Amino acid sequence: MIKHFNELVESLKGETVKKMSVAYAQDPNTIGAVARAVKENIVSAYMIGDPEKIKRVAGDNNIDYSLFEIINEPDELKAGKKAVQLVKSGECEILMKGLIGSDKYMKAILNKEEGILPKGAVLSHVTVVDVPAYHKLMFISDVAVIPFPTIDQKVKMINYSVDIAHKFGIETPKVAILAATEKANYKMPVCVEAAILSKMGDRKQIKGCIIDGPLAMDVAISKKSCEIKKLNTEVGGDADVFIFPNIEAGNIFYKAITILGQGELAALVVGTDVPIILTSRGDSENSKFYSIALAAKMA
C-alpha cells in the first residue's frame, strides 16, 4: 500500500512513460514540475504556449527546455483548445493546466463538440493529501468543482475516490461521509444523506469500500475521539476517503491542511476521458509534480 508521495513516485519506475499536454505552459512552477517528471521518466511533455516565454522561464530557472516538445500557440484560449485536442485525438494520455485561467481551461474541456467529458458523466475533483499529522494519505472530495453535491453526485465522488485509492493498493478504502456531527440528526440534510450513503455501502449498492456517516472530522481521523465519544466505528480514526458536504468545507480544509499542516497535495479532475490536472497557478512545484505522478498512475 502506498502511504506517502515518495512511494507513489517510486511505484511508477519501470512503467510506460505517459504523454502529457500542458495548456499555456509558461509559468515557472509548471515548467519546473514537468521537467522533474520528464527526468524521472514519468511523462513526456508537449508544452503548448509562447515558445520564447517558455524558453526564457526555463532558462531563468536553469531548466533545459529541450526536455520538452514545445508547440507554438501564444494565445491563451487557443493553447487550451490545442492541449485538449492532443488528448482527444489519443496523442496524449494526460492533460495539465499551466498558466491558463481555470475558466478558459474548463471551457475547453467541457466543449460539447471538441471537449473530453463523456455524455452523461459527472465532473468532480479528488485531492490526495500527504500530511505529517496523519498516518497515511487522505483522499478528499470535492474541493474544486461541485459546489453543493447532490446525493447522486456524492455516490460518484465516492466511486472516483475509491478507484484512486485502489490504485494506491488500498484494497477496501474506508470512506467517511463528513458532517458537523456524528449523530444522525434528521434536521440536518447532510446528516440524512450521510446515513443513506452509509446504508448503501452496507448493502453493497456502493462497492469496493466501507462507508460510515455522518462523521465529524475529529472522529474520522482520531481513534481517541472515537473512544471519548464511545463511538464504535470501523472507519473512525482510520478513514482513507473523506467526502465533504460542500465545496466551501472541502476547499477550506485542504488549504488549511497544506499551509498550516504543511501537507503536500496532488489533485485531479475526474469523470473525463483522461486524467486532468487542475492545480492553482499559485500551487507549489511539488504539488504540481505530485499531481503529474498521480495522473500517470491513473492514466
Q: What is the pLDDT of residue 112?
A: 87
Question: pLDDT tens digit string along 149-172?
Answer: 999 999 999 999 999 999 999 999
Does 141 score more than 80 pLDDT? yes
CATH number, domain containing residue 142: 3.40.718.10
Burial of 127 (0-12, 13-18, 19+ CB in 10 A): buried
Grid cell in block for residue 14: 519501470
| Residue 110 shares a structural domain with residue 21 | yes
265 within a domain of the structure (yes/no): no
| Residue 178 shares a structural domain with residue 283 | no
| Residue 148 shares a structural domain with residue 62 | no
Tell me how far apart the alpha carbons of residues 97 and 106 are, in angstroms, rounded to a whole number.
Answer: 10
Question: pLDDT tens digit string along 221-252?
Answer: 999 999 999 999 999 999 999 999 999 999 99
| Residue 168 shares a structural domain with residue 181 | yes
Strand partners, 267: 127
> What single-letter amino acid sits at 24?
Y
Over residues 245-271, the mean pLDDT reads 94
86 within a domain of the structure (yes/no): yes
Letter string b/e over residues 223-242, b meaning 16 or more CB atoms within 10 A of that residue's CB? eebbeeeebebebbbbbbbb
266 within a domain of the structure (yes/no): no
| Residue 131 shares a structural domain with residue 253 | yes
267 within a domain of the structure (yes/no): no
254: left (phi over 0), alpha (psi -120 to 50) or beta: alpha
Residues 6+ apart with CB under 8 A from 134: 221
Task: Give me the number of domains the chain comprises.
Answer: 2
Q: What is the pLDDT of residue 119?
A: 85
| Residue 75 shares a structural domain with residue 179 | no
Determine contact, residues 235/174, Cβ cutoff 8 Å. Answer: yes
| Residue 255 shares a structural domain with residue 276 | no
Question: pLDDT tens digit string along 18-75?
Answer: 999 999 999 899 999 999 999 999 999 999 999 999 999 999 999 999 999 999 999 9
- Of the listed ranges 111-120, 189-198, 276-285, the least confidently predicted one is 276-285
172 within a domain of the structure (yes/no): yes
Mean pLDDT computed over every residue of the chain: 95
Q: What is the pLDDT of residue 273?
A: 85
Q: What is the pLDDT of residue 281?
A: 65
| Residue 158 shares a structural domain with residue 254 | yes
| Residue 57 shares a structural domain with residue 133 | no
Q: What is the pLDDT of residue 24?
A: 96
| Residue 129 shares a structural domain with residue 237 | yes
pTM of the predicted structure, to 2 decimals: 0.94
Residues 6+ apart with CB under 8 A from 299: 18, 93, 94, 274, 275
99 within a domain of the structure (yes/no): yes
186 within a domain of the structure (yes/no): yes
239 within a domain of the structure (yes/no): yes
Tell me how far apart the alpha carbons of residues 121 and 272 are, in angstroms, rounded to a whole number.
Answer: 7
Q: What is the pLDDT of residue 102?
A: 87
| Residue 173 shares a structural domain with residue 214 | yes
| Residue 215 shares a structural domain with residue 129 | yes
Domain, as residue range, for 10: 5-120+272-298
CATH number, domain containing residue 277: 3.40.50.10950
Tell me how far apart the alpha carbons of residues 114 and 162 are, in angstroms, rounded to a whole number.
Answer: 29
Does 120 score more than 90 pLDDT? no
